[in-house]
């Protein structure tokens, strides 16, 4: 009887014994360590890059955004323009969502994305095109801020005579214009609002005093009182919107209303990279900003109520102020004595009697309507508020 052999059994491969060497667990682990891939670089954090750029106090927020997006292009692995634009738009959204006040940086993001999408590719090599975008972005971030402020300060000299000037908070471009007027032998004096709660007016006064420019720091609530002594108002801006209106440190809108009522010219000094494509209708229509100053707690049957924790807080502040008043005011009144309550209140960590929670309920910026603004002095020219809209249409027209 013939034996039947399967094809596999007669195969040379099946005839050859398969010998698998035994390896110890330690040898296996050593081998796996050697074959493990090396960790790659961490993903680029555009928000952290933006914060790092802001450590330079002379770098405005829109330009810091441009510098951050330029770094994103440099780190990008995109192989096509559509991929690169998608990454840039995603990075811009992360910047807007990752910062508490994204209004000013939004203008820089929009400008840079617009530049990248409209720049003609001169080379077949896309990597070379990206490198050119990076070089242009770096040059833009380095050269544009000082050049813009220099142009604006020269334009502003035509409006500044031997005047008393009122300014609000702190602005780099306003400071440079005031210094240029001083160097041009204009006999100016400056009133500066304190600009609560950040009190950046104090910084302005310190710089003016350092440059021997006569100045006076005033309370925000003293603007109407001082306006009759003022010849003109100069303010900076976080953004100028399509309506020609101004978004700036809170208090600017009230200052503009008082200037208009008093017949004083109100000039906004603004770099063109702060022009923003947005058309707010009122104070609560500012872009990317949450709603501040909510209504007090309300009970349906008892009307408006003040929460108990605020009542107790107000009571403690009142008692502290009373104690400070008793401790600091002598029996014989004197105008040389410090104002009652300031020392103990501030040493207790309060901002003029307000808690941090109360301060956080208030906005950082407000919207000044275009009809309150005399002129917008920018590096692209002296514009009426309506002229800002025309400029933005020209820049972003398809």
- For residue 334, give both structure tokens: 């004197």
Nearest to 100 by CA among 390, 341, 299, 365: 365
> In sequence order, what are the residues at sequence separation of 6 or more whose Cβ sits closer than 8 angstroms to the Cβ of residue 148?
173, 271, 272, 273, 378, 379
Phi-psi region for residue 357, left (φ > 0), alpha (ψ -120 to 50) or beta?
alpha
d(CA 272, CA 300): 49
pLDDT 10s digits, 300-315: 555 555 555 544 554 5
- Higher pLDDT residue, 36 or 207? 207
d(CA 59, CA 74): 20
Q: How far is CA 137 from the centre of its chain?
A: 19
Per-residue pLDDT, 307: 52
Lowest mean pLDDT among 94-98, 279-283, 338-342, 358-362: 338-342
What DSSP string describes 187-210? --EEEEE--TTTTTHHHHHHHHHH
- Give me the torsion for CA of 92, 93, 95, 101, rounded to 10°: 120
Lowest mean pLDDT among 8-22, 27-41, 169-183, 329-343: 329-343
Judge contact between 181 and 157, C-beta under 8 A.
yes
Confidence of residue 93 (pLDDT cuts 50, 70, 90): very high
Per-residue pLDDT, 335: 33
Could you identify the residue written with the tokens 């040379």? 12
Q: What is the DSSP letter of 57?
A: T
The mean pLDDT of 355-381, rounded to a whole number, is 92
Residue 332 has pLDDT above 70, yes or no: no
d(CA 178, CA 123): 46
What DSSP string describes 209-272? HHTT--EEEE-GGGHHHHGGG-SEEEE--SEEETTS-EEEETTHHHHHHHHHHHT--EEEE--G
Lowest mean pLDDT among 17-21, 57-61, 195-199, 231-235: 17-21
Q: For residue 115, count CB atoms less than 10 angstroms from its CB and return exposed for 0-12, middle for 13-18, buried for 19 or more.
A: middle
Nearest to 201 by CA among 181, 218, 221, 183: 218
Judge contact between 189 and 217, C-beta under 8 A.
no
Q: How far is CA 366 from the centre of its chain?
A: 14
Average pLDDT, whole number, for the chain? 81
37 to 27, 34, 40, 160, 342: CA distances (angstroms): 18, 8, 9, 66, 62
Residue 249 has pLDDT above 90, yes or no: yes
The mean pLDDT of 220-246, rounded to a whole number, is 95
Residue 213 has pLDDT above 50, yes or no: yes
d(CA 372, CA 381): 19
Question: Domain 157-289+364-396 sits in which CATH superfamily?
Answer: Translation initiation factor eif-2b; domain 2 (3.40.50.10470)
């Amino acid at each position: 009887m013939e034996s039947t052999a399967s094809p596999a059994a007669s195969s040379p491969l099946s005839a050859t014994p398969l010998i698998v060497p035994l390896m110890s667990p330690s040898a296996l682990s050593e081998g796996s360590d050697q074959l493990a891939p090396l960790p790659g670089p961490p993903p680029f954090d555009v928000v952290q890059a933006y914060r790092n750029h802001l450590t330079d106090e002379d770098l405005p927020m829109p330009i810091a955004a441009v510098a951050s997006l330029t770094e994103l292009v440099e780190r990008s692995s995109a192989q096509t323009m559509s991929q690169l634009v998608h990454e840039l738009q995603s990075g811009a959204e992360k910047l807007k969502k990752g910062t508490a006040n994204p209004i000013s940086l939004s203008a820089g993001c929009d400008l840079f994305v617009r530049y990248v999408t409209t720049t003609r590719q001169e080379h077949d090599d896309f990597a070379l095109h990206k490198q050119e975008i990076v070089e242009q972005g770096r040059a833009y971030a380095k050269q544009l801020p000082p050049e813009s402020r220099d142009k604006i300060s020269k334009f502003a000299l035509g409006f500044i005579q031997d005047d008393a000037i009122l300014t609000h908070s702190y602005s780099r471009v306003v400071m440079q214009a005031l210094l240029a007027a001083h160097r041009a032998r204009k006999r100016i004096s400056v009133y500066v609002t304190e600009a609560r709660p950040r009190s950046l007016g104090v910084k302005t006064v310190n710089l003016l005093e350092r440059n021997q420019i006569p100045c006076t720091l005033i309370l925000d609530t003293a603007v109407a009182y001082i306006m009759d002594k003022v010849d003109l108002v100069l303010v900076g801006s976080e953004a100028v919107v399509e309506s020609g209106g101004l978004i700036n440190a809170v208090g600017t809108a009230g200052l503009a209303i008082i200037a208009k009522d008093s017949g004083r010219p109100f000039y906004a000094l603004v770099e063109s990279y702060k022009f923003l494509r947005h058309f707010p209708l009122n104070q609560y229509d500012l872009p990317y900003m949450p709603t501040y100053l909510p209504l007090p707690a309300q009970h349906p049957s008892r009307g408006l109520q003040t929460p108990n924790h605020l009542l107790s807080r107000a009571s403690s502040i009142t008692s502290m102020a009373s104690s400070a008043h008793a401790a600091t005011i002598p029996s014989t009144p004197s105008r040389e004595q410090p104002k009652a309550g300031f020392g103990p209140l501030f040493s207790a960590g309060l901002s003029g009697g307000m808690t941090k929670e109360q301060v956080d309920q208030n906005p950082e910026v407000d919207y000044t309507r275009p009809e309150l603004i005399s002129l917008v002095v920018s590096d692209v020219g002296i514009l009426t508020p309506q002229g800002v809209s025309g400029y933005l249409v020209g820049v972003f027209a398809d």
